[in-house]
Amino acid sequence: MASGPGDTSLRKIQSTGGGTFTLSLPKQWVIKQHLKTRDAIKIDWRPSGALRLTPLEFDNTTVRTIIYDLENLSQESLFDHLMGAYIAGADIIKVRYKLQNQRNLRQQIRRFLRATRGFEMYSEEENEFELRCLLNTGDMPISSSLNRMYLQLSSSIRDILSVFQGEDPSFLDDLDERESEIDALLHLIERQVRLLVDNYSIATKLNMTRIQSLESGNLARSLERMMDHAILIGMNVKVNFDKLAHKGNTSSLNKLPEWQNSLKELMINIRIRDAKRIEEARTNLKMIQNELKENERTLFKDTNKHEWALHELTVSESIRRLCAYARDFGESLINMNAYKGIRRDREGV
């Protein structure tokens, strides 16, 4: 008999006539869930063939709360712990402190609120702050967050190319803000993925399986890493424009439109899942990587060392990394396609 979480038991199916089958529930489980006769239980038929039973009111009554006492944390680590609680799916975060820690505490909380979506300061008492999430996880589709990340990345690359072609360098003044937006969206998706894995009702609201959510997390991380390299390229173009635009330099920046086209094709295939088009985009990205590598070898072999060559090599490396992460993005799409295409047959049936 199953007496608690982690225990297993075997129960026989009973027939009550008329084609109806019944299965008794463990008494300890019924008591722990505060169920009584005629209460409703939701039955979820999983793709694996397993059945999951959940009390109907379970989702409405569960609130995830975590409490931090600054006496047990190092002075500057609160932000990291707050982010960990956010990504882990906490709904309420309470921070207990002594008055002398208040100034540093407020700074870290403000930083946390800027870096996340949905959390607000709910209450402030003499020795305790309470933060609450006001955003319903199921109300923001992961696909929408991925699309916003892509749009921020794509617009940043367009502005970098515009500045390289002679536009005002002030176009790139807000790159740090765009990077912060992408980081916040990544953290939101990571939070959604963890909650989705833990709660089937969120999976239902988001219309996504656990495997799809995990691969979506990989897509988000690839976009975030691409943005990191876009920032490096943008800063290089802004500061070293004259060197990168040297007449003797066939700049690797000219490969960015090709990378953009391939990434756009991959983004389209989040929805349409065309395996052939995904592989074509990944092949094009590999070709760009190879061409950049060859150009870098040529620069290394050049006996006349030019100052602009160092900056060109730095930019070229970042563009190769853009291609590599875009290929990882495509690989996650292939994995999602493969999972969707798997048939689950029972041997001998």
Share of the chain above pLDDT 90, in %: 51
Average pLDDT of the chain to the nearest whole number: 88
- Is the pLDDT at 214 greater than 70? The verdict is yes
- Is the pLDDT at 17 greater than 90? The verdict is no
Per-position b or e across 124-138, b if 16+ CB within 10 A of its CB: eeeeebebbbeeebb
Q: Select the highest-mean-pLDDT range: 28-32, 88-92, 105-109, 123-127.
A: 88-92
Between residues 214 and 303, the one the model is more confident about:
214
Domain map (residue ranges) of the chain? 26-57, 65-135, 141-340
pLDDT for 312 equals 86
- CATH architecture designation of domain 65-135: 2-Layer Sandwich (3.30)
| Rounded distance between C-alpha atoms, residue 200 and residue 132, angstroms | 22
User: In this structure, what token pair is assigned to residue 169?
Assistant: 């360098």
Per residue in 231-268, pLDDT tens? 999 999 998 887 776 655 578 899 999 999 999 999 99
Per residue in 153-200, pLDDT tens? 999 999 999 998 888 889 899 999 999 999 999 999 999 999 988 877
The listed CATH number (3.90.550.10, 1.20.58.220, 3.40.630.10, 2.102.10.10) that belongs to domain 141-340:
1.20.58.220
Per-position b or e across 236-271, b if 16+ CB within 10 A of its CB: bbbebeebbebeebebbbebbebbbebbebbbebbe
| Rounded distance between C-alpha atoms, residue 88 and residue 77, angstroms | 17
pLDDT for 60 equals 59
| Rounded distance between C-alpha atoms, residue 346 and residue 262, angstroms | 40
- Is the pLDDT at 215 greater than 80? The verdict is yes
Give the pLDDT band of residue 102 (cuts 50, 70, 90).
confident
Q: Select the highest-mean-pLDDT range: 48-52, 285-289, 333-337.
A: 285-289
